[in-house]
Amino acid sequence: MSHCIRLLSIAAKFSLLVFLLSAVFLCSSLSDRNPEFALTKTEESDLKEEKGKESVTEDDADAEDLEVFYPTNRWQTVHPGQAIPAGLHVRLNLQTGEKEAKLPDNTNEKSDMKDQKKRKRLDKVDIDSNSFTSQELKEALAKLKENEKTKSTMEVKANLEDVRKRFRPIEELKAEFEQLNMRIETDYEIMVKLINKFNSSDSTLDEKIAALYDLEYYVHQVDNAKDFLSLGGLQLMIDGLNSTEAVMKEHAAFVLGAALSSNPKVQIEAIEGGALQKLLVILATEQPLTVKKKALFALSSMLRHFPYAQQQFLKLGGLQVLRNLFKEKGMEALYVRVVTLLYDLIMEKMLLEGAQNNEDQMEEKVQQYSQVKLVPAVVEQDWCAIVSNLLALPEHDTREKVLKTVSVLMTFCKDRYRGDQRLNITLSMLRSEYEELAAEEQREGDKDGYFKELLGSINTIIQELR
Ligand SMILES: *[C@@H]1O[C@H](CO)[C@@H](O)[C@H](O)[C@H]1NC(C)=O
Ligand SMILES: *[C@@H]1O[C@H](CO)[C@@H](O)[C@H](O)[C@H]1NC(C)=O
Ligand SMILES: *[C@@H]1O[C@H](CO)[C@@H](O)[C@H](O)[C@H]1NC(C)=O
């Protein structure tokens, strides 16, 4: 699904014209997530083959006022909201995450054949792309002319002729898509609908949850998350965190976590909107595991690479809240997630300090992280033992994560660990277990296997405790 290109129609904002990607014809799969709203297309072979070959920057300068995409024989970026004439090749640039389009190569008969085959699968959408209404054409031409002032008349004429062939009348398209019970929309339009659905007092709880479920999918994308913010969706999620319905809290946290992931702008808005406190309240109070799981997910997204949030988290007693999860029954599923978060936060800071150089920006970052007094709090609350006790868990990948965390904690927890008889026994047992597994692995021909690696970590820890 991640490679799918969502097709678009143009709402009132973009006047009468609806331009359609030829991709519609090629569309061989519908979004399994949200079939009501979106048509999608995957074309992995194209993606691989063409990826990153060239990029045209000419249009990038004034992207905002381009409403019609003007196709050429070269790949060009399609800006959000731009109308795209039918009949184009469209791809998703995996490096930039941007949609790109160009005129199809007429000489490429093979791919035409391929396209035709694909069209047959969606035979109802097999549209003749040579017709258009004069009103629509006029508007399209007017827009193009505005954007083409710098080009010679001849050039423009030739281009217009080309484009003219590719536009489609809106009514015809609409009728055809209504037949298929499909609407082609931009992510933005879809999010507006979902947010309205969620926010409407006419919606049932189930409908609201369904809207959140779909929104989660959209806000993963950085640009969508920013739109989500400007549409007021973020604050609705934050408000949803103190809903009386557990399922509402769970899904609001889920959407929030997705929107926050690696998105500094959203992180800042969310912390200002009070998300951190509310997430901590959920984690600190009696809630179903499913709710706490998603709250922890959102909290992790909020804290990662955001030292200011980490600092506030510590100030608000967040570390203690996480610590208390280990005293609560039924929260075992959260243990490893908490430890992983802790590990990531400690490493984040350590790596930055290790990579210190003289760039100003870097210094500022280091300065910010220096305010995050995570390790002293970790030692004070005796996370050393909480973490090492998790070595008793049976799953290898859990142990792997815990061993990694024990290793980074070693510097601060050494004294504590040296006197820990239980840890001593656990380590010895793990060592024999992994010696056996590593030997077996080796007999099977795997010289640098997984178990050997785990054994190495254990031996290092034992060594350091001597
Ligand atoms: C949600 O609904 C309320 C009341 O109808 C309205 O005032 C508010 O602007 C809506 N929020 C969003 C983000 O649409
Ligand atoms: C959540 O709490 C805030 C204040 O902390 C309040 O304004 C809001 O109405 C509450 N929302 C719900 C759904 O209870
Ligand atoms: C564990 O305890 C034994 C003695 O009881 C000691 O010889 C050994 O070095 C200890 N191992 C570790 C890893 O601390």
In a shared domain, residues 169 and 249:
no
> What is the token pair recorded at 114?
């391929």
Domain membership of residue 89 (yes or no) is: yes
| Ligand nearest the Cα atom of residue 236 | 1
In a shared domain, residues 196 and 341:
yes
Q: Whose CA is nearest to atom 12 of ligand 1?
A: 232
Domain ends where: 179, 209, 237?
179
- Residue 464 Cβ inside 6 Å of ligand 3? The answer reads no
| Helices and strands counted in the chain (H then E) | 23, 6
Whole-number Cα distances in Å, 419 to 166, 378, 385, 431, 465: 77, 18, 11, 19, 9
Task: Say how many Å lie between the CA of residue 338 and the centre of ligand 3.
Answer: 29
In a shared domain, residues 126 and 148:
no
**What residue has token string 């056996």?**
436
Task: Say how many Å lie between the CA of residue 208 and the centre of ligand 1.
Answer: 14
In a shared domain, residues 67 and 96:
yes
- Residue 465 Cβ inside 6 Å of ligand 3? The answer reads yes
Domain membership of residue 58 (yes or no) is: yes
In a shared domain, residues 240 and 288:
yes
Q: Is 232 left (phi over 0), alpha (psi -120 to 50) or beta?
A: left
In a shared domain, residues 332 and 239:
yes
In a shared domain, residues 215 and 284:
yes
Domain membership of residue 36 (yes or no) is: no
Q: Whose CA is nearest to atom 10 of ligand 3?
A: 424
Q: Whose CA is nearest to atom 11 of ligand 3?
A: 424
Strand ordering across the sheet containing 89-92:
76-78, 99-102, 89-92
In a shared domain, residues 151 and 75:
no
Domain membership of residue 372 (yes or no) is: no
In a shared domain, residues 173 and 191:
no
Domain membership of residue 377 (yes or no) is: no
194 Cβ contact list (under 8 Å, min separation 6): 211, 214, 215, 218
Domain membership of residue 419 (yes or no) is: yes
| Ligand nearest the Cα atom of residue 461 | 3
**Predicted model pTM:** 0.63
In a shared domain, residues 249 and 333:
yes
Task: Say how many Å lie between the CA of residue 197 and the centre of ligand 1.
Answer: 11
What residues are in contact with ligand 2 under a 6 Å CB criterion? 239, 242-243
**Beta carbons of 124 and 179 less than 8 angstroms apart:** yes
How many domains is the chain partitioned into structurally? 4
224 Cβ contact list (under 8 Å, min separation 6): 187, 188, 191, 218
**Beta carbons of 432 and 446 less than 8 angstroms apart:** no
User: What is the CATH number for 340?
Assistant: 1.25.10.10
- Residue 462 Cβ inside 6 Å of ligand 3? The answer reads yes
**Beta carbons of 40 and 29 less than 8 angstroms apart:** yes
**What residue has token string 């998790």?**
390
Domain that holds residue 198: 187-349
Domain membership of residue 26 (yes or no) is: no
**Beta carbons of 161 and 9 less than 8 angstroms apart:** no
In a shared domain, residues 54 and 69:
yes
- Residue 407 Cβ inside 6 Å of ligand 3? The answer reads no
In a shared domain, residues 227 and 335:
yes
Q: What is the pLDDT along the chain (466 residues), one digit of tens a residue?
A: 333 333 333 222 233 233 333 333 333 333 334 333 333 333 333 333 333 333 322 233 333 333 556 667 777 777 665 666 666 666 665 556 667 777 765 534 344 444 443 333 332 222 333 344 445 555 555 555 455 444 555 565 666 566 555 555 555 656 665 666 555 678 899 999 999 999 999 999 999 999 999 999 999 999 999 999 999 999 999 999 999 999 999 999 999 999 999 899 999 999 999 999 999 999 999 999 999 999 999 999 999 999 999 999 999 999 999 999 999 888 989 999 999 999 999 999 888 876 656 566 677 888 888 889 999 999 999 999 999 999 999 999 999 999 999 999 999 999 999 999 999 999 999 999 999 999 999 999 888 899 999 999 999 999 999 8
Nearest-atom number in ligand 1 for the CA of 236 is: 13
Task: Say how many Å lie between the CA of residue 424 and the centre of ligand 3.
Answer: 6
Task: Say how many Å lie between the CA of residue 58 and the centre of ligand 3.
Answer: 69
What residues are in contact with ligand 1 under a 6 Å CB criterion? 195, 199, 232, 236
Domain membership of residue 375 (yes or no) is: no
Backbone torsions φ then ψ of 338, nearest 5 degrees: -65, -45
